[in-house]
Amino acid sequence: MRKIVFAFAALAMISCKEEKKEGNLHIKGNVEGLKQGTLYIQKIVDTALVAVDTIVIKGNSNFESHLTIDSPEMLYLFLDRGETNSIDNNLMFFAEPGNMTIDTRLDSFFAAAKITGSENQKLFEEYRKIMSRYKNTQLSLTEEKLRALQFNRDVSSDFDKKNSDNLKRKYLMAINFALNNKDHDIAPYIALADIYNANIKYLDTIDKSMSPKVAQSKYGKMLTKFVADRKQAEQKQ
């Protein structure tokens, strides 16, 4: 009888381990140089980051995670170094069902990251590279203004125009990028994350251009609701 009970207990333990590995998203990776620490895979719930998996690193810098996601969405790989503090400890990535790989280094957690296995991640990296041009221009303009104020010089008369023109170009580029990638979840994500305060007609165009599959995804549904809510609010004004 004891043997039978033990056998059932062993089967239960095996099934629990197998159940833990179930999911439609398999992430594996390596943080080169990490000997000890904790990795958290997080997602945004309402307005807060919530851990969906915790991986303790002790000696082996490889890690693995099995998750279930309803549709592509932005997740975050957060590193708790344990012994040292650093602002370079959070890596956002556009997760998709399937197999993904995240390889990076301890000394350059964000900059050295190489992420594969997600088409939306490829597009996100391309988009971020394009947007960096406009961010750099804005930083240059801001530095120019601060230097003028520091040395009691007049701020360039066309500063506001340059800043406004750069912002407009940035918004138009984001809108065009979303429209050109309407068959991917990156489109509604950009609309919600970066240009949510753009003219409603642009957001409405992105919303209506989404493929049926994207329209039924997490960000697709969020964008449709967001556009409807903004239209209703603006009608009351």
pLDDT tens digits, 79-95: 997 655 566 789 999 99
Q: Are residues 104 and 153 in the same domain?
A: no
Q: Are residues 96 and 154 in the same domain?
A: no
Q: Nearest CA to 163 among 144, 141, 136, 133?
A: 141
- How far is it, in rounded angstroms, from Cα 75 to Cα 93? 5
Give percent above pLDDT 90 in the chain: 69
Structural domain for 201, as ranges:
121-236
Q: Are residues 87 and 166 in the same domain?
A: no
Number of domains in the chain: 2
Q: Are residues 150 and 221 in the same domain?
A: yes
Which of 116, 148, 178 terminates a domain? The answer is 116
Q: Give a yes or no: residue 10 inside a domain.
A: no
Q: Are residues 137 and 105 in the same domain?
A: no
Give the tens place of pLDDT for each residue, 181-198.
999 999 999 999 999 999
Please, which pLDDT band fits residue 236 given cuts at 50, 70 and 90? confident
- How far is it, in rounded angstroms, from Cα 193 to Cα 226? 12
Q: Are residues 229 and 126 in the same domain?
A: yes
Backbone angles phi, psi at 98, to 5 degrees: 130, -155
Please, which pLDDT band fits residue 4 given cuts at 50, 70 and 90? very low
Q: Are residues 178 and 199 in the same domain?
A: yes
24-47 mean pLDDT: 95
Give the tens place of pLDDT for each residue, 131-172.
999 888 888 888 877 877 776 676 667 778 888 899 999 999
Q: Give a yes or no: residue 8 inside a domain.
A: no
With tokens 């033990």, the residue in question is 6
- How far is it, in rounded angstroms, from Cα 165 to Cα 121? 29
